[in-house]
Structure 1
Amino acid sequence: MRVRVGIVGCGTVGTGTAELLLKNGHLIRKKTGLDIVLTKVADVDWERPRSFEVPHHLRTTHYTEVIEESDIVVELVGGKGFAKQVILEALEKGKHVVTANKHLLAEDGKEIFLKAQEKGLWIGFEASVGGGIPIVKALREGLSANRILNIYGILNGTTNYILTRMLEEDMTFDEALAEAKRMGYAEADPSLDIDGWDSAHKITILATVAFGKFFPFGSVHVEGIRQVDLLDVELGKELGYTLKLLAICKRVDSEVELRVHPTFIPSEEQLAKVSDVFNAVMVEGDFVGKTMFYGRGAGSHPTASAVVADIIDIARNIAGGIRALHPFYWEEEELHISSNFYSRYYLRLDVPDRPGVLAKVAQVLGDNGISIASVLQKEKVCRMAGREGQSVIPLVLLTHKAYEKQMRKAIEEIKNLPMVEGHPVLIRVEEEKL
């Protein structure tokens, strides 16, 4: 069966997708029996250099030509405005859609999926999370018999690279970010990555797939790594932890925690060993237990591989006359977002080096129902912080599990203690077997 495919947007991923379809089209035919033909590629600038030269007869500057001449429209423009227009126009004209647009799906996905459902059309979005890692397909198909309990993800290569350099090379955040830019792993403006928004978009999409429910993006708790101090990375290592920007989707009864923040995880865990620009996702199902998916989370070829996998799946469905299904067709209505997380905490305070300080801090924590699990030895912390013999020293505590609201209230009270200087450093600790 012949299936026509057109691409709107020929940047890094669009170029890789065109290259893959043209170079491996014969292999796809052998493996699937499908004749997937690239008909048109639209972009506003065909003069800029690319890693692969799209043949001239396939080029256009008009996205409407792509829609008219395709059975499957691949949107790889990015952003929300124009990309959304392209997708909705394609669906209105009866064309199936493949997209890698995490930003758009996380924030406006419900409108798009409902339009596709109304029209009986497929939307492929594997490439929106994890680049070449087939995590969406795994959740939708391989793990579909399971009730999903937890998802833990390292979903952004830029932040993982920065934290790896800080951990292994004793770089400050600014030094590691500068190196990431030199290596081409960070954009000139890396805010979406280092402030956690990229990971938040991705975990929102995974939660939608896992639970068949659209969670408003504004309900996700998001913290980035911009304020991470090398001292805390080193102290965490001393305590047996590795710091990662972790995206968490955790189900507790009828509540779902959706959060992205710097997180200490035990250094012996598999996720802790995921370094540099690599991504990984750990999914726990009620029957399968824990499974882990690992690979490159970005880049032209890995992401193009995921895009083309969606194209092949949709082409098979077209050939087989299979009814389109979308994340909401089995929606779990009773689930709602919880912001009162239940976690262990790492707390670092700058306090005077005198008796009685720890007792006062412990009293505030105790009054809020939070118990201290351990205190890092003062001499070791002072030596690592270079504050031996100084009047103000770091006090480092690890708590037992507590609720977020309790901890936030305690922090506000601790900040007001006269002996506490500066702003407390608070990092969550996840210790269930990841």
Structure 2
Amino acid sequence: MPGQVWGLATHDPAGPVFVTGFSGSDLDTTALTAVDPAGTVMWQRTFEGRPRPPRVTPAGTVWLALHGPTGYTFTEVGPEGRVLRSVLPEHQAHEYLGAFALLPDGFCTIWLPADPYRQVPPGQVPRVARHTATGATTWSAHLPAAELSFPGVVEAGVDTGWELRPKKPWRPQTISVGYRDPLLVSADRVLVSIEDGSGIGVCTILDATTGGIVTVTPPAPYKHKAISGPGSFLVGQQGYGAFTTTHYDAEGHAHQTWPSHAMMLVDRHGTVSGPESENILPSRSRFRVLNADGSLRDGPPLSGYHTTHPALDADGTAVFWRDGRLLAVDADLQARTLYAQNDDRSVMSRILLLDQGRVVFTLHDELFLFHGTGLGPLDDGPWPCGDGNLHGNPVRA
């Protein structure tokens, strides 16, 4: 690929795969590349603006969010690489696009009050908006400007004589979207995640029709999230002593909590599983199944740390890259190595599972395509892979 990859998606298990990333060392230009299942580059185009993951429609078109002199635009590119149209979503000049998703009739967005690396202007707060297909605002909801704190966080500074003390609640100087899965849409619910510079944040569930707030979670170090069913979500916490996953129903109630945090997969039967994700080395993580009663079922132990978000096939086998190996864990929690090489690169994409057992993912600026893995088609559950589907669009009707 031309530079570090930011995302990949496809409209169909037969491909092609659309990849976004930097255009070489130019950090302000997006390279969009179409690759066929054999690994041949079909076409490549560049666009002004930093890259973001692509969102692909069932018709095979690709939507990109780009930033230019006039603000943010959503640009639709055809399957042959031709620009079809651009949409200007209504927003203020100072606002920063945190995340966006495609809806059947438009877009859903998170607008931050400033670039995540810049101080938040006084009185400004993040907001979620729903836009029509022409960019007009259907509704806009300000996110609660709650003071963020978490009991596991300690801090030190000149004001404490560099003595470690518990972090006090404070209004953040910077705001960013959640580190993982910041915007999910399921039926008539939207889940958004924002955080401050410490990694402590809150998740807000909103009504997708009106923008009304359903619930706001307590401040915590939220990480991986997933859609678990119509209007319901899984929300993981990891860091500062937290290591849990909680299921929130469509009414915003915490229904179940497990003592594990994983890159989650949810199959068509509602079973939740995945490789655990914890910031501790040497690794003590396993592949786990989160049982409906709140207990865990242990899978194989996992070495290393950096992991692609897995994909799940229809037979219940999960595939992912970790510690220099392409691993497959079957429904009986038996692991096998499909491929291995000495490779410790930390920048990696999610896994795409295509037809005929093809597996696709990236490490930094390289696209890997594997054939003959024996894997079946992608499971049709609510979250069988990162972003919830091959389209790279975390929306489920």
Shared fold (TM-score, shorter chain, > 0.5): no
Bigger radius of gyration: 1
TM-score (norm 2): 0.29
Determine which structure has the larger strand proportion and give its number. Answer: 2
State the structure with bigger RCO (CA 8 A, min sep 6), 1 or 2: 1
